[in-house]
């Protein structure tokens, strides 16, 4: 009897330690979300303000609406989902949910925040897929780009994405079990969207490499025949325009100096092409890393949670901890979206800087008048 009693006490002690470990992970999640919330909200708010004011008139392209939809999704996550989860975890950790009414209220808040999270984060993945599909069309089918990627088509894509995931989240109200809802969600969204996104990134990268090789071939041919250098299209559909060298060669009386000048310009053009290629490669690698690590890790953990019966309480707790960590990765992805998709582009940074400077100068003028 004494041995059985000691084993029971040991088992209860281990169970208590595992529960405390999970509560500590939730507490860390709360601290992490409190830190991450302003990192998510401030850049996306500035980005949306810059697009709305458009001080340098650079946000009039159709793909800007993908960025707007993505920023709205991330801003919603930062304003609603992250604070709600953080509050629930903190109250639970400090044992403040003993009151039945408060517990019911916080569970309802967490459920609503979870539904908003499903809509916002899933929509962001679909918008990223739409954005990169449009960029692939720009690289591989430039002559069809303006026909396919129009303002109306992009806005329709963004609106349908939001409506689809809102309607999908409402499936919970039809009486479907939570486990079945999660199974449908993890199969259709993180898995399928991520797989298609990988395929689009591979196709776009191959198309860009093919385009760069063709441009380099033309450049070498033109250099050999002393013709005008041909430059490659850069990422985000911008071009590197070079003036004609023929007029300079004809007007310059010093032919060796003119040839040296032509050679320097062609060398600079080649360096810019290589820089563009390196930049594009790094962008693709960064995006693939952020998206795939967050989405696939989340999907794998959810597959284990949904389809594998835990063999012990320890395994059940470890799976729950893995779910919290997968949430961290998704929230990090949300925080990094604005930096990866917009802030790395010089025009976005310049627009935000000008907007802030104009706002500051307007405020100073108002104070002086008052």
Other Cβ atoms less than 10 A from the Cβ of 197: the count is: 21
* pLDDT tens digits, 120-143: 999 988 888 888 888 888 888 888
Q: Is the pLDDT of residue 148 over 60?
A: yes
**Do 129 and 161 touch, CB atoms closer than 8 A?**
no
91 domain residue, yes or no: yes
Write down the pLDDT at residue 297: 83
* Overall average pLDDT of the 329-352 stretch: 80
Q: pLDDT-derived band of residue 241, with 50, 70 and 90 as boundaries?
A: very low
C-alpha torsion angle, residues 290, 295, 301, 304 (rounded to 10): -140
7 domain residue, yes or no: no
117 domain residue, yes or no: yes
**CA-based nearest residue to 39, from 333, 241, 238, 306:** 333
226 domain residue, yes or no: yes
* Overall average pLDDT of the 50-74 stretch: 86
| Poorest-pLDDT segment among 4-8, 43-47, 235-239, 345-349 | 235-239
Report how many helices (DSSP H) and strands (DSSP E) the chain contains, helices first: 12, 0
What CATH number has the domain bearing residue 142? 1.20.1070.10
Strand partners, 239: 233
157 domain residue, yes or no: yes
Domain of residue 254, residue span? 21-369
Q: Is the pLDDT of residue 230 over 50?
A: no
Q: pLDDT-derived band of residue 285, with 50, 70 and 90 as boundaries?
A: low
Mean confidence (pLDDT) of the chain: 78
* Overall average pLDDT of the 235-257 stretch: 43
Q: Regarding predicted confidence, which is higher, 21 or 243?
A: 21
Element (H, E) at 334: helix 313-338
Q: Is the pLDDT of residue 327 over 50?
A: yes
2 domain residue, yes or no: no
195 domain residue, yes or no: yes
152 domain residue, yes or no: yes
Q: Is the pLDDT of residue 214 over 80?
A: no
Q: Is the pLDDT of residue 294 over 70?
A: yes
Structural domain count, the chain: 1
If you write DSSP's letter for every residue of 78-96 in order, what string do you get? IIIIHHHHHHHHHHHHTT-
* Overall average pLDDT of the 148-171 stretch: 93
Q: Regarding predicted confidence, which is higher, 232 or 260?
A: 260
Write down the pLDDT at residue 251: 45
């Amino acid at each position: 009897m004494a041995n059985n009693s000691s084993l029971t006490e040991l088992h209860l002690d281990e169970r208590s330690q595992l529960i405390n470990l999970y509560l500590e992970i939730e507490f860390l999640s709360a601290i992490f979300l409190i830190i991450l919330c302003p990192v998510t909200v401030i850049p996306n708010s500035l980005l949306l303000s810059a697009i709305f004011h458009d001080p340098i008139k650079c946000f009039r392209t159709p793909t800007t609406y993908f960025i707007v939809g993505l920023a709205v999704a991330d801003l919603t996550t930062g304003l609603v989902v992250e604070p709600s989860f953080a509050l629930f975890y903190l109250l639970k950790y400090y044992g403040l949910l003993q009151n039945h009414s408060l517990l019911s209220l916080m569970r309802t808040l967490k459920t609503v925040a979870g539904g908003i999270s499903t809509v916002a984060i899933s929509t962001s993945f679909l918008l990223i897929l739409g954005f990169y599909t449009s960029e692939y069309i720009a690289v591989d089918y430039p002559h069809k780009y303006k026909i396919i990627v129009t303002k109306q088509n992009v806005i329709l894509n963004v609106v349908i994405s939001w409506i689809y995931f809102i309607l999908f989240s409402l499936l919970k109200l039809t009486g479907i079990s939570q486990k079945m809802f999660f199974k449908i969600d993890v199969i259709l969204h993180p898995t399928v969207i991520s797989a298609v996104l990988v395929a689009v990134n591979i196709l776009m990268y191959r198309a860009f490499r093919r385009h760069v090789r063709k441009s380099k071939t033309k450049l070498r041919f033109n250099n050999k025949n002393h013709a005008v250098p041909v430059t490659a299209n850069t990422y985000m559909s911008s071009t590197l325009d070079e003036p004609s060298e023929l007029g300079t060669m004809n007007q310059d009386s010093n032919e060796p100096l003119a040839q040296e000048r032509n050679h320097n310009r062609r060398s600079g053009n080649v360096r810019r092409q290589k820089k563009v290629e390196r930049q594009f490669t790094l962008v693709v690698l960064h995006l693939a890393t952020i998206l795939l690590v967050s989405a696939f890790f989340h999907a794998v953990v959810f597959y284990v949670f949904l389809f594998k019966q835990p063999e012990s309480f320890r395994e059940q707790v470890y799976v729950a901890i893995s779910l919290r960590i997968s949430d961290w990765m998704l929230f990090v992805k949300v925080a990094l979206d604005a930096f990866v998709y917009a802030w790395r582009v010089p025009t976005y940074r310049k627009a935000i800087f000008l907007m802030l400077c104009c706002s500051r100068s307007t405020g100073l003028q108002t104070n002086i008048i008052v």
